[in-house]
Structure 1
Amino acid sequence: MGGVTSSVAAKLAFFPPSPPSYEVVTEPESGVVRLSRYPHRENVEVLRLPTRRGTEIVALYVRNPMAAFTVLYSHGNAADLGQMYELFLELSIHLRVNLLGYDYSGYGQSSGKPTEQNTYADIETAYKCLVENYGAKEEEIILYGQSVGSGPTVDLAARLPHFRAIMLHSPILSGLRVMYPVKRTYWFDIYKNIDKISLVNCPVLVIHGTSDEVVDFSHGKKLWELCNEKYEPLWLKGGKHCDLELFPEYLKHIKKFISTVEKSPSQRSTWRKSAEQFEPPRKSTDCFEPSRKSIDRREKSRQSTEKSRSKDQRTTNVENLEKLKISFDQMEKSRRSLDCFDKSRKNIDQLDRGRKSVDRLDRIWAG
């Protein structure tokens, strides 16, 4: 039964556009690499990045000369870079950030097949690219995970403690919980965000639509309740799974969040108190996490992390990368492979019904 359930969860987790919405084109005269659907822009670079699992992913880097931070964006399960391109440009401009988006293995023109383990290697590769190629520091990077992209996003943030912040857009508690209202975590489940979110020590913004027909609103609420350093959430009334960018509050709230995380930890105490008013009375979470440690211990861990964060900011990029490599190697040894994801995908059309054409993005900031 467990193996069957795991296989079903895996099949529903990934739904890359078929055929891909773009091709990677190299201009014969200039050698410039671009996406086939769009003309070359001076501030946009298209990259091919090899991962530690033998695949090659396509990434898109958008540069903003006014940027203080870089957003590492992990998109949802029914999109690729061709569909996200215009949104990435708009976010970079309006949020004043650099932005790196990437296609998971098996998505767009990235090679290989989409599996949970491959997506972990994919986001690690994208992060290392930011550090090695663009000189970004861990504390200058904000992670953004949408829908299934919340899986690799939370996983990376749980292992590397000094990211500036993370944003979770229509996130999942776990893959199995999207389909069944299970009360405990099973070994064969995928993207166990509910068990990992307590290990994230940076500020967390959760955005979710109250009418989400793919990932129930309760997923976002529960993850937010379990965050260590929670920020005022954005619950969009009537919002569905793939239309949240169309709400005026979406961009305003993210701008406010980024402005807040620019401040030091001590200066952020005010908004921590403000966020508490959004949290309903806590009920027992034993049914979700039998092994969860006490909140007091979590507080001590966070205080310890706050002290070490200022000291570790002096760490060089080389040392950061070495630490990253060791962490990744240890995590890879302890993980079970779930490469059965690529079997037949019957009954997955229902997951994509909330997906709307990205062509509507020109309405996001109209007026």
Structure 2
Amino acid sequence: MLEEVIWFDPAPASYGNWEPENLPYEDVWFSCEGEKLHGWLVEHESPRAVVLFLHGSSANLSYRDEVVRKLHDELGLTVMVFDYRGFGRSEGKLNGEAALVADSLAARRYLSERTGVPEDEIVLYGRSLGSAMAVELASRDGARAVVLQNAFTSLPDVAHEHFRFAPVYRTMKYRLNSLSKIGQYQGPLLQSHAEQDDVVPLEQARRLFEGANEPKTFLVEPGFKHATPASQEFFEAFDALIDRLPQTEANTAKSATGDLSAE
């Protein structure tokens, strides 16, 4: 459990703000490998896109309410954020990389079933740890678009920056090797990174970006550190990305039935 403590640090349900003001969320539950996982679904009446928010390590989803609010209120998106097993109200404990991936796949599947949007037409937004999950899902099945914030090449690469004399490349069970997978994703990418990131060096983010296919955009947030909340410039770039996306078949069908306003 040492790696889980060092790199993930999940906060139980006793921590956080579980009743945020002015966020029209619905508590949702879905199952993965016998564990009951919890999320917040914030639906927009006329969504420009449906987003699965894969959050980072530490805390739980209740600490991400402001990000979800901005995506919903200012960008006009339907958003779901969830907790991996062992985080927040989700059952179970982290027990390996495969469990993280399984939880993320289950969340995307649930979101697709709830919204009627095919899994490969969901926008994947991953921050830090969640960036590895976003790359994993996109490399497997595609995505309407991918947004990565403070992403890393692999978890052993991050560990090497902090424990230079430890044999991390041989001993770590969590690999989360996004660099080896991002080239398998064919679609729009927005990647942002804190200029003074004190957890994941900016150089790692640039290497990951170089491995990605076009179309892609890279944004550096000047003066920011790893845990600094996203800038308004980031949300503007996110907004611009959504504007550039072609209309999907699912959205076209919803528009035809009046479920979506014309873009």
Asked if these proteins are the same fold (TM beyond 0.5), I'd say yes
Root mean square deviation of aligned Cα: 2.5
Confirm or deny that 1:223 pairs with 2:217: no
SS in 2 for 1:72: strand
Distance 1:87 1:244, change over 3 A: closer
Q: Which residue of 2 aligns with 1:16?
A: 10
Q: Which residue of 1 aligns with 2:127?
A: 146
Q: Which residue of 1 aligns with 2:240?
A: 256
Q: Quote the Cα distance in structure 1 between the aligned partners of 2:201 and 2:211.
A: 17
Confirm or deny that 1:117 pairs with 2:98: yes
Q: Quote the Cα distance in structure 1 between the aligned partners of 2:97 and 2:115.
A: 27
Q: Which residue of 2 aligns with 1:294?
A: none
Q: Which residue of 1 aligns with 2:65?
A: 85
- Write the letter of the residue equivalent to 2:19: R
Structure 1 alignment gaps of length 5 or more:
1-6, 23-34, 265-312, 315-367
SS in 2 for 1:78: coil
Q: Which residue of 1 aligns with 2:114?
A: 133
- Write the letter of the residue equivalent to 1:132: E
Q: Does the 8 A contact of 2:48 with 2:242 survive in 1? A: no
SS in 2 for 1:50: strand
**Shift of the alpha carbon at 1:158?**
0.8
Q: Quote the Cα distance in structure 2 between the aligned partners of 1:74 and 1:20.
A: 21
SS in 2 for 1:58: strand
Using structure 2 for the length normalisation, give the TM-score: 0.84
SS in 1 for 2:100: helix
Equivalent residue in structure 1 for 2:48, among 62, 65, 68: 68
Q: Does the 8 A contact of 2:13 with 2:89 survive in 1? A: no
Q: Does the 8 A contact of 2:97 with 2:174 survive in 1? A: no
Equivalent residue in structure 1 for 2:19, among 33, 37, 50: 37
- Write the letter of the residue equivalent to 1:153: A
Summarize deviations over 1:308-360 as a string: whole Å, max 9, x none.
Answer: xxxxx69xxxxxxxxxxxxxxxxxxxxxxxxxxxxxxxxxxxxxxxxxxxxxx
Summarize deviations over 1:131-190 as a string: whole Å, max 9, x none.
Answer: 2222112343100110011122111111103x11100110111111102159x9768451
Which structure has greater helix proportion?
Answer: 1
Q: Quote the Cα distance in structure 2 between the aligned partners of 1:178 and 1:169.
A: 15
Distance 1:188 1:176, change over 3 A: same
Q: Does the 8 A contact of 1:158 with 1:196 survive in 2? A: yes
Q: Quote the Cα distance in structure 2 between the aligned partners of 1:102 and 1:210.
A: 27
Q: Does the 8 A contact of 2:124 with 2:147 survive in 1? A: yes
Which structure has greater strand proportion?
Answer: 2
Q: Quote the Cα distance in structure 2 between the aligned partners of 1:159 and 1:59.
A: 23
Q: Quote the Cα distance in structure 2 between the aligned partners of 1:198 and 1:123.
A: 20
- Write the letter of the residue equivalent to 1:243: T
Q: Which residue of 2 aligns with 1:323?
A: none
Summarize deviations over 1:220-273 as a string: whole Å, max 9, x none.
Answer: 11111100124221111111112141x231111111111112379xxxxxxxxx
- Write the letter of the residue equivalent to 2:236: K
Q: Which residue of 2 aligns with 1:196?
A: 181
Instruction: Give the percent of matched residue pairs that are identical in Structure 1 and Structure 2.
Output: 26
Equivalent residue in structure 2 for 1:48, among 12, 29, 34: 29
**Shift of the alpha carbon at 1:205?**
1.0
Q: Which residue of 1 aligns with 2:223?
A: 238
Distance 1:171 1:36, change over 3 A: closer
- Write the letter of the residue equivalent to 1:149: G
Distance 1:189 1:130, change over 3 A: closer
Using structure 1 for the length normalisation, give the TM-score: 0.61
- Write the letter of the residue equivalent to 2:89: Q
Q: Does the 8 A contact of 1:165 with 1:204 survive in 2? A: yes
Q: Does the 8 A contact of 1:80 with 1:103 survive in 2? A: yes
Larger radius of gyration: 1
Per mean C-alpha deviation after superposition, the further-off stretch among 83-92 and 141-150 is 83-92
Q: Quote the Cα distance in structure 2 between the aligned partners of 1:244 and 1:85.
A: 12
Structure 2 alignment gaps of length 5 or more:
251-263
SS in 2 for 1:16: coil
Q: Does the 8 A contact of 1:145 with 1:168 survive in 2? A: yes
- Write the letter of the residue equivalent to 1:120: V
Q: Does the 8 A contact of 2:12 with 2:89 survive in 1? A: no
